[in-house]
Structure 1
Amino acid sequence: MPDSNSRPNTFGQLPPSKWPGERLGLPRFGPSSIGRPGRRLLGFAIDWAIAIGVSAIFFNYDPAANLIIFVILQIVFIPTIGASLGHRLVGLRVISIHGGWIGPWRPIVRSVLLGIALPALVWDSDQRGFHDKVAGTALIRR
C-alpha cells in the first residue's frame, strides 16, 4: 500500500495550491504574485475596447476584425513590452514560467487560445487559464 505522505506523481493527484502561484514559486501578495481576476478582467476589457476602436475606425466594426485585432495586439505587445496594453495599464505582465524572455511563440500560442475564449475560462488553483498553461506563461503583478 502506498504511503499517504508520498509525493503525488500524476497531475490529477497534485494537491491544490495554498495560494495562487505557490506551485510556481511566486509570492502570495505584492509584486510578482499571480494577477487576480479583477485586474485580469479589467485588462482584458481595455484590450477588447482598443480592438473594437481600431475595428470601428478601419473595418466598420466587423466582429471578426475585432477578434483578429485583439489577437494581433496580444502577439505584438507581450514579447515587446511584456504585457498587453490593457494589462500594462492595470499593473500586470506576462512571464515565462521557465524564466528568461518570453519569446515569440508563447504569445502566439497564448493569444490564439485566448481568442477561442474557452481556455481562458478553465483555471487551475494557481489561477492560470488553460491558455497560460499550454504556453508556459503566467500573468503576474508588476
Structure 2
Amino acid sequence: MAVDRRDIGSWIQGPEAVTGVSGYPGERLDRPETGPGSLARPGRRFASVLIDWVLCLVIARGFFGTETVASGVGTLIPVAILAVENLLLISTTGFTIGQRVMGVHVERVVGGGPIGLWRSALRAVLLSLVVPPLTMGWDVDRRGMHDLLTSSVVARN
C-alpha cells in the first residue's frame, strides 16, 4: 500500500482535514461554542433528565402508592409520566422542568424555535424506550437518536 503525500499532509493538519469534523460540537450546525445557543453539555442533559425522573417518581408514588409503583406493570407508571411531561412541556414551552432548572431547552436545528407536537411525541417515545442515552455518542455534535430523528438540539439558554 503506497502512502500518498496528501495522506501525510492531512495527518499533520489534524483529524478535521480527513473527517471534515469541526473543532467543537455544534459548529457544523452554526451554533456558538459557548454561551446561549450553544449545545448543552452531557452533564447538564443528564442532570435535567435525573431531575425529571425524580419528579415523575414522586408524582407516581403520590398518586398510585409506593407498592403499586414498585412492582409489576406499575413500574412503567413513572416512565409514562415522564413521556407525558416531555410531550406536553417540550411541545408548548420548549423545555421540561429539569431542563428549565439546568438552563437548557429543546429547539429545531434549522431556524431554532419550538419543535412542535409530533416531534415532541416522537422524542418522548424514544426517551421512554431509553434509546437516547445509548445513542448520545453517535453524532459528532453529541446528539442522540431522539435529536437526530426529530431534527432538534438541546441548547443552552
Name the TM tier (shorter chain). Answer: 0.7 to 0.9
Identity, % of aligned pairs?
36
RMSD of aligned residue pairs (Cα, Å): 1.8
Q: Which runs of 5+ in 2 are unaligned?
A: 1-5, 8-17
- State the partner residue of 2:23: 18
- TM-score where L is the length of structure 1: 0.86
Q: Is the contact between residue 147 and residue 153 of structure 2 (CA under 8 Å) also seen in structure 1? A: yes
**Compared with structure 1, are the counterparts of its residues 31 and 116 closer, same or farther at alpha carbon in structure 2 (3 Å cutoff)?**
same
Q: Which has the higher contact order (CA 8 A, sep 6+)?
A: 1
- CA distance in 1 between counterparts of 2:93 and 2:47 reads 18
- State the partner residue of 1:67: 79
Q: Which runs of 5+ in 1 are unaligned?
A: 5-12
Structure 1, 113-122 or 89-98: larger mean CA deviation = 113-122
Partner of residue 121 from structure 1, selected from 126, 134, 149: 134
**Compared with structure 1, are the counterparts of its residues 102 and 14 closer, same or farther at alpha carbon in structure 2 (3 Å cutoff)?**
farther
The structure having more radius of gyration, on CA atoms, is: 2
| SS of equivalent residue, structure 2 residue 106 | strand
Q: How many residues align?
A: 132
Q: Which runs of 4+ in 1 moved over 3 A?
A: none
- TM-score where L is the length of structure 2: 0.78
